[in-house]
Amino acid sequence: MSVRHFVGDQSVANTPDQDRGLAYGDGLFETMRAHDGDVHWWPAHWRRLERGAHALGIALPDRARVRHEAQALLDGAGGVLKLIVTRGVGGRGYAPFDAISPHWIVSRHDAPPAAPADGLTLRWCDTRLAVQPALAGIKHCNRLEQVLARAEWRDADVDEGLMRSTEGDVVSATAANLFVLHDGRWTTPAVDRCGIAGVCREWAIDALQAREARLAVTEVEAAEAVFLCNAARGILPVARLGARVWRPHPQVAQLRRRLAAEHPAFATEVA
Amino acid sequence: MSVRHFVGDQSVANTPDQDRGLAYGDGLFETMRAHDGDVHWWPAHWRRLERGAHALGIALPDRARVRHEAQALLDGAGGVLKLIVTRGVGGRGYAPFDAISPHWIVSRHDAPPAAPADGLTLRWCDTRLAVQPALAGIKHCNRLEQVLARAEWRDADVDEGLMRSTEGDVVSATAANLFVLHDGRWTTPAVDRCGIAGVCREWAIDALQAREARLAVTEVEAAEAVFLCNAARGILPVARLGARVWRPHPQVAQLRRRLAAEHPAFATEVA
């Protein structure tokens, strides 16, 4: 892992004291798959970052400068590039005014493991996602719900956990979006009340002409096929959810091949 | 402002890279009124910190060491002492395992202004508090709702904003708890679904034999008297909420005198 910090357009050595990201989670992040020194889905990641910055009233650093620093850090390699943008230092207590220079951090990490060929094993999480339309969809840094949900199991045989909202709708996995197939039609949970509008989710909605809707637990368990996705790992077939078992589905395999053809980082993962 | 950082029992210069507090708001904080080099309500603050650490599964640093460092930083003076404890560095993504040494930060700040003699002016905030029992009551570092609520007004004549839950109940101000008087009985909103169990709130519940209950907007507007409170500023009489005006109430004045008699930092503020 290597990391660089900036405040506005200035390079700095560390997280500044009184950074609002540390105090309140007052920031946004993107986790991006890199390949050959660049981020293939950069435009989509930046668009989501802009939506989040608009929702929170956070000033973004210069886009070209961020991409330049990201490429410098990648230095021709791949892996995962993480970008955090906090509101920076300033304001009085919660009041965010006068915190004008964002603190931003780029860091490079190893690529995550490829999707297991035989599919993921999932569980249901007890921790719920609170319904909060003002924060839904954006990838902000208030992530205690995901931390609590992911802390529910240490069993290495369980790969991910599905989360419901406090109202009972299925929303997503702790760190991936969810798609389910019924009667030839793909559905992914709407993220207008809670959850994150993932960049790979956006790609898959377009690729599958999927619909966004509220989704019940029974609709997941009755699905003909299920996959998870995120921008770091791509399309992740699901094989098990508790006692429910799914066989590999040709539509999921086809989608993985399509992603491999469009996104160079995933090309090597599909034989 | 002066500040010191520690990881476990080691002094460090800065926030470590990949601190989970910055990444996810994966931490807790306390904002404590200090006087003559010590924190009068230290036991109550530490108790709340322990409740939060238990809820989040965060290891706390050694209590005596934290208090020692806090007193060293205060150096005989008063003001406000802030303590942040994050889960530290470690884990994989949201998974919090192996993040064993908490990062903790003590910082000293000037005392906030005393409560205005003629009472605070409040407004209603549009930003709601999401219902999330798993995080309710504790003072964790996921505070975007409060930041968004406090960003709703820049009018210096408005001192604080009242927040409702997504279900419509009145919960608190952005940075203070709320008490209302009806027929001689004080009520403060329950904080088992959202909101923070404030240390001054706990003191006031005991002092007033107040009840904790769900509270409707109409019950606030119909109250005979209203005050806010927090551990940094004590008891804050409320004079206005939109068009509603309250005259100074003898029970609020009496409570302020009682707090002044019990907590030395507030003794000078009540003539």
| Residue B57 shares a structural domain with residue B93 | yes
Q: How many CA atoms lie within 13 A of A43 on its CB side?
A: 2
The predicted structure's pLDDT at residue A98:
79
User: If contacts are CB pairs under 8 Å, which of residues 6-35 in chain A contact chain B?
Assistant: 13-15, 17-27, 29
- Give the span between the Cα atoms of A200 and A232, in whole angstroms: 9
- Give the span between the Cα atoms of B173 and B150, in whole angstroms: 9
Determine, for residues B23 and A29 on separate chains, whether the beta-carbon distance falls below 8 Å: yes
Cα B263 to chain centroid, rounded: 17
Q: Is A2 on the interface with B (CB under 8 A)?
A: no
| Residue B52 shares a structural domain with residue B137 | no
| Residue B216 shares a structural domain with residue B135 | yes
Test mutation, A2, A18, A28, A94, chain B, max B CBs within 10 A: A94
Residue A133 in this model has a pLDDT that exceeds 60: yes
Full residue range of the structural domain in which residue B100 is found: 2-109
Helix axes A42-56, A199-208, angle to 10 degrees: 120
Q: How many CB pairs under 8 A join A and B?
A: 163
Weakly modelled stretches of chain B, pLDDT under 50: none
Test mutation, A15, A80, A100, A144, chain B, max B CBs within 10 A: A144
User: If contacts are CB pairs under 8 Å, which of residues 154-193 in chain B contact chain A?
Assistant: 154, 166, 174-175
The predicted structure's pLDDT at residue B113:
87
The predicted structure's pLDDT at residue A135:
98
| Residue A212 shares a structural domain with residue A186 | yes
Provide the number of structural domains found in chain A: 2
- Give the span between the Cα atoms of B265 and B232, in whole angstroms: 9
Domain boundary among B109, B128, B160: B109
* Total Cβ atoms within 10 A of residue B264: 14
Sheet strands (E) in chain A: 2-7, 10-12, 27-35, 38-39, 79-86, 103-109, 120-124, 160-164, 170-173, 177-182, 185-189, 211-213, 225-230, 234-241, 244-245
Instruction: Residue B247: give its domain's CATH number.
Output: 3.20.10.10
Test mutation, B1, B80, B94, B166, chain A, max A CBs within 10 A: B94
Q: Is B2 on the interface with A (CB under 8 A)?
A: no
| Residue A43 shares a structural domain with residue A74 | yes
The predicted structure's pLDDT at residue B118:
87
Q: Which has the higher per-residue pLDDT, A36 or A118?
A: A36
pLDDT in tens, A87-117: 999 888 999 987 679 999 999 999 998 888 7
* Nearest by CB: B150 against A84, A94, A147: A94
Residue A271 in this model has a pLDDT that exceeds 70: no
| Residue A162 shares a structural domain with residue A72 | no
The predicted structure's pLDDT at residue A266:
94
The predicted structure's pLDDT at residue A270:
62
Q: What average pLDDT does the segment A121-146 reach?
A: 98
Domain boundary among B61, B83, B109: B109
A7 inside domain: yes
Question: Nearest 10 degrees: CA dihedral of A244, A249, A255, A258?
Answer: 150
Taking CA–CA distances from B194, the nearest residue in chain A reads: A130
**Amino acid code (one letter) for B269:** E
Which residues of B are less than 8 Å from A130 in CB distance?
Answer: 130-132, 135, 166
Specify the DSSP element, H or E, that contains A54: helix A42-56
B271 inside domain: no
pLDDT level of residue A124 (50, 70, 90 thresholds): very high
Q: Supply the ipTM of this predicted assembly.
A: 0.97
Q: Is A149 on the interface with B (CB under 8 A)?
A: yes
Instruction: Residue B78: give its domain's CATH number.
Output: 3.30.470.10
A114 inside domain: no
A129 inside domain: yes
Q: What average pLDDT does the segment A222-249 reach?
A: 97
| Residue B129 shares a structural domain with residue B261 | yes
Determine, for residues A18 and B1 on separate chains, whether the beta-carbon distance falls below 8 Å: yes
B115 inside domain: no
Test mutation, B4, B86, B147, chain A, max A CBs within 10 A: B147
Residue A185 in this model has a pLDDT that exceeds 80: yes
The predicted structure's pLDDT at residue A115:
83
Domain boundary among B88, B109, B130: B109
User: If contacts are CB pairs under 8 Å, which of residues 61-100 in chain B contact chain A?
Assistant: 84, 86-87, 93-97
